[in-house]
Amino acid sequence: MCPRHLLTRMKTSVAIYPGSFDPVTNGHLDLIARGEKMFDRLIVAVLKNMEKEPLFSVPERVEMLREVTKEFHSVEVDVFQGLLVDYARKRDAAVILRGIRAVSDYEYELQMALMNRKLEPRLETVFMLPGETYSYLSAKLVREIAQLGGPLTGLVPPLVEQKIRAKLAVASS
Ligand code: PNS
Protein backbone atom coordinates (compact mmCIF):
# COMPACT_ATOMS: atom_id res chain seq x y z
CA MET A 1 0.00 0.00 0.00
CA CYS A 2 1.28 3.44 -0.89
CA PRO A 3 1.90 5.70 2.17
CA ARG A 4 -0.69 8.47 2.28
CA HIS A 5 1.82 11.31 2.05
CA LEU A 6 3.05 9.93 -1.28
CA LEU A 7 -0.42 10.28 -2.69
CA THR A 8 -0.52 14.02 -2.13
CA ARG A 9 0.21 16.11 -5.16
CA MET A 10 3.73 17.44 -5.31
CA LYS A 11 4.03 20.73 -7.12
CA THR A 12 7.10 22.67 -7.98
CA SER A 13 7.60 26.18 -9.27
CA VAL A 14 6.54 28.01 -12.39
CA ALA A 15 6.58 26.37 -15.80
CA ILE A 16 6.07 27.85 -19.24
CA TYR A 17 4.32 25.92 -21.98
CA PRO A 18 5.27 27.86 -25.13
CA GLY A 19 3.92 27.41 -28.63
CA SER A 20 2.06 28.80 -31.59
CA PHE A 21 -1.35 27.33 -30.65
CA ASP A 22 -2.88 28.12 -34.06
CA PRO A 23 -5.34 26.86 -32.91
CA VAL A 24 -5.27 25.13 -29.51
CA THR A 25 -6.03 21.40 -29.99
CA ASN A 26 -7.18 18.66 -27.65
CA GLY A 27 -3.56 17.48 -27.61
CA HIS A 28 -2.44 20.85 -26.20
CA LEU A 29 -5.25 20.75 -23.66
CA ASP A 30 -4.26 17.25 -22.58
CA LEU A 31 -0.72 18.48 -21.94
CA ILE A 32 -1.97 21.56 -20.08
CA ALA A 33 -4.07 19.31 -17.82
CA ARG A 34 -1.02 17.14 -17.09
CA GLY A 35 1.26 20.15 -16.53
CA GLU A 36 -1.25 21.86 -14.28
CA LYS A 37 -1.03 18.91 -11.89
CA MET A 38 2.72 19.17 -11.73
CA PHE A 39 3.55 22.84 -11.34
CA ASP A 40 2.46 25.60 -8.96
CA ARG A 41 1.79 27.82 -11.93
CA LEU A 42 1.65 26.99 -15.61
CA ILE A 43 1.99 29.83 -18.10
CA VAL A 44 0.74 28.98 -21.56
CA ALA A 45 2.74 31.40 -23.69
CA VAL A 46 1.73 32.16 -27.26
CA LEU A 47 4.57 33.21 -29.52
CA LYS A 48 3.91 36.53 -31.21
CA ASN A 49 5.73 36.06 -34.47
CA MET A 50 5.35 37.21 -38.00
CA GLU A 51 4.11 33.86 -39.27
CA LYS A 52 3.34 33.84 -42.97
CA GLU A 53 -0.32 32.94 -42.93
CA PRO A 54 -1.72 32.14 -39.51
CA LEU A 55 -5.33 30.99 -39.34
CA PHE A 56 -5.96 32.98 -36.15
CA SER A 57 -4.44 36.22 -34.94
CA VAL A 58 -2.53 36.10 -31.65
CA PRO A 59 -5.36 37.83 -29.69
CA GLU A 60 -7.85 35.29 -31.12
CA ARG A 61 -5.60 32.39 -30.08
CA VAL A 62 -5.20 33.85 -26.61
CA GLU A 63 -8.94 34.33 -26.24
CA MET A 64 -9.65 30.71 -27.21
CA LEU A 65 -6.91 29.43 -24.89
CA ARG A 66 -8.29 31.46 -21.98
CA GLU A 67 -11.77 30.14 -22.58
CA VAL A 68 -10.80 26.47 -22.83
CA THR A 69 -8.43 26.60 -19.83
CA LYS A 70 -10.65 28.64 -17.53
CA GLU A 71 -11.33 25.68 -15.22
CA PHE A 72 -7.60 25.41 -14.44
CA HIS A 73 -7.01 28.02 -11.77
CA SER A 74 -3.22 27.83 -11.80
CA VAL A 75 -3.01 28.23 -15.57
CA GLU A 76 -2.36 31.64 -17.10
CA VAL A 77 -2.33 32.50 -20.80
CA ASP A 78 0.15 35.10 -21.98
CA VAL A 79 1.93 36.30 -25.12
CA PHE A 80 5.66 36.55 -25.64
CA GLN A 81 8.05 37.68 -28.31
CA GLY A 82 11.78 37.39 -28.70
CA LEU A 83 13.80 34.67 -27.04
CA LEU A 84 11.94 32.18 -24.90
CA VAL A 85 14.76 32.17 -22.34
CA ASP A 86 14.41 35.94 -21.87
CA TYR A 87 10.69 35.57 -21.32
CA ALA A 88 11.30 32.70 -18.86
CA ARG A 89 13.73 34.90 -16.89
CA LYS A 90 11.20 37.73 -16.86
CA ARG A 91 8.50 35.40 -15.53
CA ASP A 92 10.80 33.70 -13.01
CA ALA A 93 10.11 30.33 -14.57
CA ALA A 94 12.40 27.38 -13.90
CA VAL A 95 10.87 24.98 -16.42
CA ILE A 96 9.86 24.91 -20.06
CA LEU A 97 7.20 22.32 -20.73
CA ARG A 98 6.99 20.69 -24.14
CA GLY A 99 5.03 17.75 -25.47
CA ILE A 100 6.56 14.91 -27.45
CA ARG A 101 4.01 12.97 -29.46
CA ALA A 102 6.26 10.63 -31.40
CA VAL A 103 9.91 9.94 -32.16
CA SER A 104 9.63 12.36 -35.09
CA ASP A 105 9.20 15.27 -32.63
CA TYR A 106 12.27 14.31 -30.70
CA GLU A 107 15.03 15.68 -32.92
CA TYR A 108 13.59 19.20 -33.13
CA GLU A 109 12.67 19.25 -29.45
CA LEU A 110 16.12 18.02 -28.42
CA GLN A 111 17.79 20.72 -30.50
CA MET A 112 15.59 23.41 -29.01
CA ALA A 113 15.99 22.17 -25.44
CA LEU A 114 19.78 22.02 -25.73
CA MET A 115 19.98 25.45 -27.34
CA ASN A 116 17.79 26.90 -24.61
CA ARG A 117 20.04 25.23 -22.03
CA LYS A 118 23.07 26.78 -23.69
CA LEU A 119 21.38 30.20 -23.56
CA GLU A 120 20.17 29.77 -19.97
CA PRO A 121 21.65 26.81 -18.05
CA ARG A 122 19.30 27.32 -15.08
CA LEU A 123 16.25 26.61 -17.19
CA GLU A 124 15.14 22.97 -17.50
CA THR A 125 13.03 21.59 -20.33
CA VAL A 126 10.54 18.97 -19.18
CA PHE A 127 8.99 16.72 -21.82
CA MET A 128 5.62 15.15 -21.29
CA LEU A 129 3.69 12.68 -23.41
CA PRO A 130 0.14 13.63 -24.35
CA GLY A 131 -2.48 10.86 -24.23
CA GLU A 132 -1.97 8.29 -27.01
CA THR A 133 -5.25 9.39 -28.63
CA TYR A 134 -3.53 12.64 -29.54
CA SER A 135 -0.21 11.27 -30.75
CA TYR A 136 -1.10 11.97 -34.40
CA LEU A 137 -2.73 15.34 -33.78
CA SER A 138 -1.21 18.69 -34.74
CA ALA A 139 -2.54 22.22 -35.22
CA LYS A 140 -1.19 22.13 -38.78
CA LEU A 141 -3.28 19.04 -39.64
CA VAL A 142 -6.32 20.57 -37.94
CA ARG A 143 -5.99 23.66 -40.16
CA GLU A 144 -5.62 21.51 -43.26
CA ILE A 145 -8.59 19.25 -42.45
CA ALA A 146 -10.74 22.29 -41.68
CA GLN A 147 -9.77 24.05 -44.91
CA LEU A 148 -10.64 20.90 -46.87
CA GLY A 149 -14.02 20.54 -45.16
CA GLY A 150 -13.23 17.48 -43.01
CA PRO A 151 -14.64 16.71 -39.54
CA LEU A 152 -12.88 18.16 -36.49
CA THR A 153 -14.83 16.36 -33.79
CA GLY A 154 -12.53 15.11 -31.05
CA LEU A 155 -9.55 17.03 -32.42
CA VAL A 156 -10.27 20.45 -30.96
CA PRO A 157 -12.61 21.74 -28.23
CA PRO A 158 -16.13 22.51 -29.55
CA LEU A 159 -15.57 26.26 -29.11
CA VAL A 160 -12.47 26.12 -31.29
CA GLU A 161 -14.32 24.12 -33.93
CA GLN A 162 -17.02 26.82 -34.02
CA LYS A 163 -14.40 29.57 -34.36
CA ILE A 164 -12.65 27.70 -37.18
CA ARG A 165 -15.90 27.17 -39.07
CA ALA A 166 -16.85 30.82 -38.60
CA LYS A 167 -13.46 32.01 -39.79
CA LEU A 168 -13.53 29.80 -42.89
CA ALA A 169 -17.11 30.83 -43.69
CA VAL A 170 -16.06 34.50 -43.64
CA ALA A 171 -12.99 33.74 -45.74
CA SER A 172 -15.06 31.97 -48.42
CA SER A 173 -17.87 34.57 -48.58
O1 PNS B 1 4.22 25.34 -31.27
P2 PNS B 1 5.60 25.51 -31.86
O3 PNS B 1 5.50 26.34 -33.10
O4 PNS B 1 6.30 24.20 -32.06
O5 PNS B 1 6.44 26.35 -30.78
C6 PNS B 1 7.78 26.73 -31.05
C7 PNS B 1 8.31 27.72 -30.00
C8 PNS B 1 7.36 28.90 -29.85
C9 PNS B 1 8.40 27.00 -28.67
C10 PNS B 1 9.72 28.18 -30.44
O11 PNS B 1 9.66 28.60 -31.78
C12 PNS B 1 10.28 29.32 -29.60
O13 PNS B 1 10.58 29.13 -28.45
N14 PNS B 1 10.41 30.51 -30.21
C15 PNS B 1 10.87 31.70 -29.51
C16 PNS B 1 12.20 32.20 -30.07
C17 PNS B 1 13.36 31.45 -29.45
O18 PNS B 1 13.57 31.48 -28.27
N19 PNS B 1 14.12 30.76 -30.33
C20 PNS B 1 15.23 29.93 -29.92
C21 PNS B 1 14.72 28.54 -29.54
S22 PNS B 1 16.03 27.46 -29.24
Percent of the chain with pLDDT strictly greater than 70 = 92
pLDDT of residue 98: 98
Confidence of residue 172 (pLDDT cuts 50, 70, 90): confident
Ligand 1 centroid–CA 19 distance in Å is 6
Rounded mean pLDDT, 114-124? 96
20, 86, 97, 115, best to mutate for ligand 1 pocket (most atoms within 8 Å of CB): 20
112, 125, 138, 143, best to mutate for ligand 1 pocket (most atoms within 8 Å of CB): 112
Indicate the pTM of the whole model.
0.92
121, pLDDT greater than 70: yes
pLDDT in tens, 23-38: 999 999 999 999 999 9
Ligand 1 centroid–CA 168 distance in Å is 27
Q: What is the 3 state secondary structure string of the chain?
A: CCCHHHHCCCCCCEEEEEECCCCCCHHHHHHHHHHHHHCCEEEEEEECCCCCCCCCCHHHHHHHHHHHCCCCCCEEEEEECCCHHHHHHHCCCCEEEEECCCHHHHHHHHHHHHHHHHHCCCCEEEEECCCHHHCCCCHHHHHHHHHCCCCCCCCCCHHHHHHHHHHHHHHHC
